[in-house]
A and B are shown apart, each in its own frame.
Chain A
Amino acid sequence: MIETPGIAALFVMLAAVAVAVARQRNLFGVVVLTGTYSFLMATALAALDAADVAMTEAAVGAGISTVLFLGALNLVGSLESKPMERPWIPLVLSLFTGMLLVYGTYGLPAFSDPHAPIHTHVVPRYLQEGLAETGVPNIVTAVLASYRGYDTLGETTVVFTAGIGVITLLRRRRKKKEEGGS
């Protein structure tokens, strides 16, 4: 059994990277360290058998976020000024929230427990009667597009609205640049 100590070592490194990110004043180094954090987190998630979440974490955290942060650094400069004061309320608050979450994990069922509520509540019905009820042979598609159809519709609306907003902002900026250049 090498997974448990390996994952524990990964989490220790994650904590170390988080402390380093908080202490680092050069924002360029912070961007590089957050990319490292994402790769470590994605590896831990893959070791925990959550391959899809790991793929998303690697793509968003290490890929897109790095590029977006670098674009932001281009606008704001890459040296963080020293804080005027040392605020302690956020530290206490986040430590308290973290301890609350750790306390909450004691109420969860054991990892990959077949009798956990998530496996016994609606999943048997989806598996046995999904085809008859929805007519969709793929069970994942049936859950996403039929059982949770309104949820998926809402998500699509949110993504669509965000896309419209981004396109509007980019068009305005380009028009302004054209006016300034001519």
Chain B
Amino acid sequence: MIYAPVVAALIATLALLLARAFLGPNVFDRALAANAVGTVAMLLLAVIEFYTGRPGFTDLALVYGLLNILGTVAVLKFFRVGDLGEPGEKEEEAA
């Protein structure tokens, strides 16, 4: 069975990413860690699909991927312009 080592490796990756998200001195470390957590969650869902043979989890993984992009873009835009609605006129330091 190849699935057990794959799941173990993905969960170890998750633990490392969470450590970076907790410790990360920088906001960018945290944002990158959160983005990578979303990616690993997608991979875990794909592994679950192939392990259990239940279809539909890949669709769920695709939704995760889209939401991951949305959240990361929102976080980075907020950090860049300090507001989500403005088209980017004022430069504010957030955090």
Contact = CB atoms under 8 A, between A and B. Distances in A.
A9 B4 CA distance: 13
A169 to B, nearest CB: 15
Q: Chain B interface residue count: which class?
A: 35 or more
Given A32-B75, A73-B78, A59 B67 contact: yes
Contacts of A10: 11, 14
Which DSSP category, helix, strand, loop or mixed, fits chain A's interface? helix
B34 A36 contact: yes
Contacts, number: 122
Majority DSSP secondary structure for residues of B touching A:
helix
Interface string B64-82: 1001101100110011001
Given A28-B95, A74-B78, A62 B22 contact: no
Interface in A13-62: 13, 16-17, 20, 26, 28-29, 31-33, 35-36, 39-40, 42-43, 46-47, 49, 51, 54-55, 58-59, 62
Interface residues of A, number: 39
B5 to A, nearest CB: 9
Interface of B: 1, 3-4, 7, 11, 14-15, 18, 21-22, 24, 27, 30-31, 33-34, 37-38, 41, 44-45, 48, 51, 54, 56-57, 60, 63-64, 67-68, 70-71, 74-75, 78-79, 82-85, 94-95
Interface of A: 2-3, 6, 9-10, 13, 16-17, 20, 26, 28-29, 31-33, 35-36, 39-40, 42-43, 46-47, 49, 51, 54-55, 58-59, 62-63, 66-67, 70-71, 73-74, 78-79
3 tightest Cβ-Cβ pairs between the two chains A and B: A28-B95, A63-B67, A70-B78
